[in-house]
């Protein structure tokens, strides 16, 4: 089954914030972060239900190299990315982000 991947604006902002933070630390590190996120999104799109559901159907995949989780929900033929957050962030940050 082919899925439509929808990245919510909040998740996009999460990703851009992390990109900026890493890029400020070392040139090119932010781009490497984006590559890791892209690889995780490809994995989600291939088999979205292999990652564990943590809270009310919200699933999480961890990125490689960077301590970030991508939180998403599968709704029919859609994968909706709700958040891309550092692993040490307060879980209530992603638990409040429900698909509309």
What the chain holds in terms of domains, given with CATH numbers, is 4-95 (3.30.2310.20)
**Proportion of the chain above pLDDT 70, given as a percent:** 89
Q: Find out whether 99 and 80 touch, Cβ atoms under 8 Å.
A: yes
Count Cα atoms within 13 angstroms, Cβ side, for 99: 17
**Does residue 91 register a pLDDT over 80?**
no
Count Cα atoms within 13 angstroms, Cβ side, for 42: 7
pLDDT for position 1: 75
pLDDT for position 95: 64
Task: Give residue for tokens 């509309």.
Answer: 100
pLDDT-based confidence at residue 73 (cuts at 50, 70, 90): very high
pLDDT tens digits, 43-56: 999 999 999 998 88
């Amino acid at each position: 089954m082919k899925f439509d991947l929808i990245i919510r604006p909040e998740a996009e902002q999460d990703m851009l914030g992390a990109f900026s933070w890493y890029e400020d630390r070392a040139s090119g590190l932010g781009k490497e972060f984006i590559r890791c996120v892209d690889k995780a999104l490809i994995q989600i799109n291939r088999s979205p239900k292999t990652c564990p559901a943590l809270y009310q159907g919200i699933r999480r995949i961890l990125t490689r190299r960077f301590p970030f989780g991508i939180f998403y929900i599968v709704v029919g033929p859609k994968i909706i990315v709700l958040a891309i957050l550092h692993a040490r962030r307060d879980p209530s940050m992603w638990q409040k982000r429900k698909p509309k």
